[in-house]
Structure 1
């Protein structure tokens, strides 16, 4: 279940990791394209505003120059002067001279193109009156912008104010204090007016920029689709970056998935979720056939109910150092499961296996001491089992075991006879109990090189004054043989496989009720201790 979940999460993460960078790059490309177009539009709006300022300034300069003339008004000389100013000034279409507010003459004689109704007039800060959009009665004439001061009026074709070269699909609108003055050729007046009054610069249909100076504004807009060209240009080099990032993300997800699916990672998760439980294999007194203790054996119970064999995870746990927190969980589990039983029967014991690293450091003794505080369990009821393979650093192991003996714990050598140092170091170790390995028990009465070893081990243990536990007993004949050689305790499937705490307590209860040791069939399944 956990592997499936990791794989599903990894697939989803990989898909997101592959797609999201490309989507992000597409989004960035779009935003960059928008930014470029907005900058482009701002350039045109500023250019349009500069053109407006230049055109107006030309009109103002004409008025200023004519006001300094001191000849006879409307004389041929005066009209000629106004005609020259009109011809030589690009923005000016006509110059009018007024006396007492009435038209007296123009640069084109005595008539004016301004026949018709006037619109509202503004007065700017310099005292000029400006009629920004005068519509002549003659429909053939474009709207006029009129600048008036004193006796002179200068007529400027409003089209001059929007007379700049625009990119295709661009539209320009010129405004004075928000009033539309003129629009570029082909522009939509309603769209331009709506955009200039809008506060939303992220219009769904148009991009636009507005430049303002001295109550004059120039708005340049274009359809949002105009961004496509810039977008595809940006995407052409941004998308490969997104693909590259996605590739790196996918590789990272694969690597993380492999790590998460590794046995070591699974074990770390199992430790964090406390999936390691303790099973107990009964230890039987061969003389009375009573259960006098148990060996605590760790089991890995997955959330889906499957049990991982110790043979599959113990070597890895020892190799990676994860055996240490597993041992801590076993110690806590033993105290929690067996405290009441150990308090009721002071002759009862539980054996706990200790790894080589713990034997070297002695770290587990602090865990034991902490777990036993307040439990009212005697230290002598806890057997510390160490395999011969745990005595790689014999000097450190001897120091740790002597310290354990001093604290009252009993020391047992597990799987005796399978290591390389048993005979050499046995007398130096502070040992109370010797456990005969199953491989030698299996050889009882068989014609093999190891068939006689069990009797020599028993004799050596007796000589050293050690208690003896025979492991892996599966037949009554083996039990009888060991009983005849005065072996103290037996352990194996003849009596029971390793049981969960609840079943083990029932085993003890049933034995006491029946007055003898119940036995399990050797084909009963489960993981042997």
Structure 2
């Protein structure tokens, strides 16, 4: 090969080496943009479905409350109670009382003219009736959703069912399980919505992207113009086109190298720790016998600067792998103390459970940091429970030493997600634990024919034989709660009672629970 051939070959390889990365980058930009938009739509649809179900659940709770209210129908006290509910419950705009399907009184007062209920648009499995086009006397031009149960109804603004964070380019529609529209935002096409419901609309066509989430009572359809993707893709491509081919090869190589370091999950996680981008949500823990909230589990959340949430099971595993988990644990302690200090000092009966990783159990760094943080706050160490999974107890000698230190400091220690790891009765007997948490996977088998359904009572018996407090995770049904209550399980948490929530919502939940339960603080905790 002569000099000219070498130069030509080098130029050709340089051109190929520059063009291929650009072409690949454009292709990846397209597929990633489409995939991300689809994920965003799916997240919005599931968020909308969850929100609609929560709105309905709140309304159903209000209706059931009035069914059990021991007052004379349409008395002044009855009407006052209905008015109070409309003020205190955001989802409730008006409440009415019916006798023989005729309206007798409402939160506005007694009704003189005869108003009868029309046929429902949908009847739920629990007997709750939905009427989607009700126009109240007080505002005859305003469409409301009528939710009726036995002798009371609630009127709710349809907007309540779609009141979620929504990108301005997205359209959302909430429908009944039989396909009737409850409410929508940003004007989704009725034709597209019906096609999505019937399954004939592709996830992406020439005009729109669409997704659907189905629940027991509702379906949610979210759409977005395809032009949104084209605009994003064009912006990405226009940044690359002006570059020369040879320069593109060098710059793209540097950008890829730098981006992989800077934007990898490990790099992002390190920056998130430095910038303190984490927050804490609190899932209430209730005493099963009384229904009183006796504390909460602190759960870490990470929202990236672009607004996207990163699942804890993803970044916690990476933090453990790269020895960053203790720094995150310390931030959780700091947030809990900052957000709940006044509440914990005011109510010594409350406790907050914080998870420790296997590394936290081994190095003891988090305990030392917690000891420093609690100094001068007025929070008692016993109000901070420490939870560790079975993996954290694999090194029994180290775990015993860490637990001993924590208990000397005044903290209670719980083994979390019990039954999913390595523990046995002889294993637990070696550790001075205070509580055992039954993993959700076992709670889910209650009342089923699952092969592991018999494990739950054995776990309960094991914990009771060791005089441990028992906390059941992931309770989602009344049947599960009743079974656990009958078995003597002390505490429970799960979506039956409340999801994990930001501090403001948790404080409100606690105040409402405290007023409604009226139960004394459980003696079993006072004996810890």
Paired residue for 2:336?
A: 334
Q: How far apart in 1 are the matches of 2:305 and 2:459? A: 42
Aligned residues: 289
- 5+ unaligned residues in a row in structure 1: which ranges? 23-242, 518-529
In structure 1, the residue corresponding to 2:281 is in which secondary structure? Answer: strand
In structure 2, the residue corresponding to 1:316 is in which secondary structure? Answer: helix
Q: How far apart in 1 are the matches of 2:320 and 2:406? A: 21
Offset at residue 12 of structure 1 (A): 11
**Structure-2 change in CA distance of 1:305 and 1:254 (3 Å):** closer
Q: How far apart in 1 are the matches of 2:238 and 2:426? A: 58
Paired residue for 1:276?
A: 278
Q: How far apart in 2 are the matches of 1:479 and 1:436? A: 13
Paired residue for 2:417?
A: 415
Offset at residue 303 of structure 1 (A): 2.7
In structure 1, the residue corresponding to 2:410 is in which secondary structure? Answer: coil
Paired residue for 1:305?
A: 307
Contact 2:291–2:517 (CA under 8 A) maintained in structure 1: no
Offset at residue 421 of structure 1 (A): 2.9
Q: How far apart in 2 are the matches of 1:273 and 1:404? A: 29
1:224-271 superposed Cα distances (whole Å, 9 cap, x missing partner)? xxxxxxxxxxxxxxxxxxx79x86565233211122221111111222
Contact 1:434–1:467 (CA under 8 A) maintained in structure 2: yes
**Structure-2 change in CA distance of 1:294 and 1:456 (3 Å):** same
Q: How far apart in 1 are the matches of 2:401 and 2:256? A: 46
Q: How far apart in 1 are the matches of 2:469 and 2:423? A: 20
**Structure-2 change in CA distance of 1:448 and 1:366 (3 Å):** same
Paired residue for 1:291?
A: 293
Offset at residue 448 of structure 1 (A): 2.0
Offset at residue 422 of structure 1 (A): 3.6
Q: Which has the larger radius of gyration?
A: 1
Alignment of 1:368-383 (within 5 A): 368-383=370-385
> Which of residues 451, 463, 466 is equivalent to 2:465?
463
In structure 1, the residue corresponding to 2:449 is in which secondary structure? Answer: coil
Alignment of 1:449-528 (within 5 A): 449-515=451-517
Alignment of 1:90-105 (within 5 A): none
Q: How far apart in 2 are the matches of 1:280 and 1:336? A: 14
Q: TM-score, normalised by structure 1?
A: 0.51
Offset at residue 488 of structure 1 (A): 0.4
**Structure-2 change in CA distance of 1:11 and 1:269 (3 Å):** farther
Paired residue for 1:106?
A: none
Q: How far apart in 1 are the matches of 2:508 and 2:309? A: 21
Contact 1:360–1:396 (CA under 8 A) maintained in structure 2: yes
In structure 1, the residue corresponding to 2:376 is in which secondary structure? Answer: coil
Contact 1:281–1:297 (CA under 8 A) maintained in structure 2: yes
Q: TM-score, normalised by structure 2?
A: 0.51
Offset at residue 437 of structure 1 (A): 0.6
> Is 1:256–2:265 an aligned residue pair?
no
In structure 1, the residue corresponding to 2:320 is in which secondary structure? Answer: helix
In structure 1, the residue corresponding to 2:452 is in which secondary structure? Answer: coil
Paired residue for 2:354?
A: 352
Q: How far apart in 2 are the matches of 1:250 and 1:472? A: 47
> Which of residues 440, 443, 456 is equivalent to 1:441?
443
Q: How far apart in 2 are the matches of 1:253 and 1:303? A: 20
Q: How far apart in 1 are the matches of 2:492 and 2:294? A: 10
Paired residue for 2:269?
A: 267
**Structure-2 change in CA distance of 1:283 and 1:468 (3 Å):** same
Contact 1:14–1:250 (CA under 8 A) maintained in structure 2: no
Contact 1:286–1:488 (CA under 8 A) maintained in structure 2: yes
Paired residue for 1:128?
A: none
> Which of residues 401, 424, 427 is equivalent to 1:425?
427
Q: How far apart in 2 are the matches of 1:424 and 1:431? A: 13
Contact 2:300–2:312 (CA under 8 A) maintained in structure 1: yes
In structure 2, the residue corresponding to 1:460 is in which secondary structure? Answer: helix
Q: How far apart in 2 are the matches of 1:511 and 1:449? A: 36
Offset at residue 315 of structure 1 (A): 1.5
Q: How far apart in 2 are the matches of 1:15 and 1:267? A: 32
**Structure-2 change in CA distance of 1:285 and 1:254 (3 Å):** same
Q: How far apart in 2 are the matches of 1:12 and 1:425? A: 62
Q: How far apart in 2 are the matches of 1:301 and 1:420? A: 33
Paired residue for 1:321?
A: 323
Contact 2:425–2:462 (CA under 8 A) maintained in structure 1: no
In structure 2, the residue corresponding to 1:321 is in which secondary structure? Answer: coil
In structure 2, the residue corresponding to 1:499 is in which secondary structure? Answer: coil
Alignment of 1:399-410 (within 5 A): 399-410=401-412
Paired residue for 1:61?
A: none
Contact 1:14–1:253 (CA under 8 A) maintained in structure 2: no
Offset at residue 393 of structure 1 (A): 2.3
1:176-217 superposed Cα distances (whole Å, 9 cap, x missing partner)? xxxxxxxxxxxxxxxxxxxxxxxxxxxxxxxxxxxxxxxxxx
Contact 2:290–2:517 (CA under 8 A) maintained in structure 1: no
Contact 2:436–2:463 (CA under 8 A) maintained in structure 1: yes
Q: How far apart in 2 are the matches of 1:360 and 1:429? A: 14
Q: How far apart in 1 are the matches of 2:424 and 2:294? A: 26
**Structure-2 change in CA distance of 1:12 and 1:336 (3 Å):** farther
1:400-419 superposed Cα distances (whole Å, 9 cap, x missing partner)? 11111111110000001111
- 5+ unaligned residues in a row in structure 2: which ranges? 1-32, 37-232, 520-528
Alignment of 1:106-185 (within 5 A): none
Contact 2:286–2:491 (CA under 8 A) maintained in structure 1: yes
Q: How far apart in 2 are the matches of 1:488 and 1:387? A: 19
> Which of residues 362, 387, 390 is equivalent to 1:388?
390
Paired residue for 1:90?
A: none
Q: How far apart in 2 are the matches of 1:512 and 1:304? A: 37
Q: How far apart in 2 are the matches of 1:448 and 1:394? A: 32
